[in-house]
Amino acid sequence: MTAIAAQALTWYDEHARDLPWRSPDATPWGILVSEVMLQQTPVVRVLPAWLNWLDKWPTPAHLAADTPAEAIRAWNRLGYPRRALRLHACATALVSQHEGQVPDAVDALLALPGIGAYTARAVAAFAFGRREPVVDVNVRRFVARAVTGLADGGAATTPADFALVETLLPAEDAPRVSAAFMELGALVCVARSPRCADCPVVRTCAWRAAGQPAAEGPGRRPQGYAGTDRQVRGLMMALLRDARDPVPLRTLDAVWPDEVQRRRALAGLVEDGLAYEVGAGLYSLPV
């Protein structure tokens, strides 16, 4: 095993958070749900939603038997409600194509709605113990610093990222090493103020040795939210989620002053399958 993997494992044994989807009792379905919920949403907000979701839909068949609208409601305010829609579609695909079971092969996982390069490998590793490089933003940052000597992992995940992480994984216990890398990136090797004093690989960290140079190139594009279509969509989705009956257009219209933007936002929601016009000027979640 590489030194970095061994050090990360030792640290993880002592410092790993006790998260329910890491429990030996967690099912592949529970782990898959956690991974989808954790796409761009912090752990603290996922926790209650995950517990409620698994209580309500303990298997893919339970979710597939319910409506997309209920999935979107249970999603609550986790953000990016398309993920709820895709998770429902994923459950349906699991029932129709995989006998209601979560597959253990990366290729099969990648073919499911809402499951991309990261999530497919995370499920293969954490639910089935497979040796797959699990590369999220935390792992990319940790490996970029500790191994490559750069301040961050760059704009997007590349095939080279998977290849590099793969070389760090031991033959045995690879999923725990991946979890350790992720946890280090999430708790110690964080983006803004890394806690190098608490890091198990600080003595060999390439970024540290190079004097912690700043990130190269232009930073990420501003992620502005106020005044965007996303904000308008979010306001409309909140109304649709909380309504038991179809919502009149004029009620949706009340969420935002600009008519052009309102029209665009609602059309986008309908286009994405998050909203349906169930009657003349009446909208609801997909049923």
Partner DNA sequence: TAAGCGTGGTT
Partner DNA sequence: TAACCAAGCTT
Round to whole Å and give the CA distance between 201 and 206. Answer: 10
Near DNA by CB under 7 A, which window of 1-9, 108-116, 248-256, 276-284?
108-116
Binder among 21, 29, 53, 256 for DNA (CB under 7 A) = 21
Q: Quick one: 117 exposed, middle or buried, by C-beta within 10 A (0-12, 13-18, 19+)? A: middle
Question: Binding to DNA by residue 41, rule CB under 7 A?
Answer: yes
| Tokens encoding 189 | 């090797």
For residues 180 to 219, the per-residue mask of contacts with DNA, x marking binding by CB under 7 A and - elsewhere, is --xx-xx---xxxx-------------------------x
Nearer to DNA, 171 or 222 (CB): 222
Closest CA to 130 of 110, 112, 106: 106
> 35 catalytic, yes or no?
yes
Round to whole Å and give the CA distance between 162 and 98. Answer: 27
Question: Binding to DNA by residue 250, rule CB under 7 A?
Answer: no
Question: Binding to DNA by residue 161, rule CB under 7 A?
Answer: no
Round to whole Å and give the CA distance between 103 and 88. Answer: 16
Binder among 24, 211, 217, 222 for DNA (CB under 7 A) = 222
Determine the Cα angle at 42 with ends 62 and 92, to 5°.
Answer: 20
Q: Quick one: 100 exposed, middle or buried, by C-beta within 10 A (0-12, 13-18, 19+)? A: middle
Question: Binding to DNA by residue 239, rule CB under 7 A?
Answer: no
Question: Binding to DNA by residue 117, rule CB under 7 A?
Answer: yes
Round to whole Å and give the CA distance between 205 and 214. Answer: 15
Any idea what DSSP says for residue 20? G
Question: Binding to DNA by residue 25, rule CB under 7 A?
Answer: no
Round to whole Å and give the CA distance between 235 and 225. Answer: 12
Round to whole Å and give the CA distance between 34 and 249. Answer: 34
Question: Binding to DNA by residue 268, rule CB under 7 A?
Answer: yes
Nearer to DNA, 134 or 280 (CB): 134
Binder among 49, 69, 91, 122 for DNA (CB under 7 A) = 122
Question: Binding to DNA by residue 114, rule CB under 7 A?
Answer: yes
Q: Smallest distance, Å, CB 103 to DNA?
A: 15
Active-site amino acid positions: 35
Instruction: Tell me which residues touch DNA (CB under 7 A).
Output: 19, 21-22, 34-35, 38-45, 77-82, 86, 113-120, 122, 136-138, 141, 155-156, 182-183, 185-186, 190-193, 219-225, 228-231, 233-235, 237-238, 268, 274
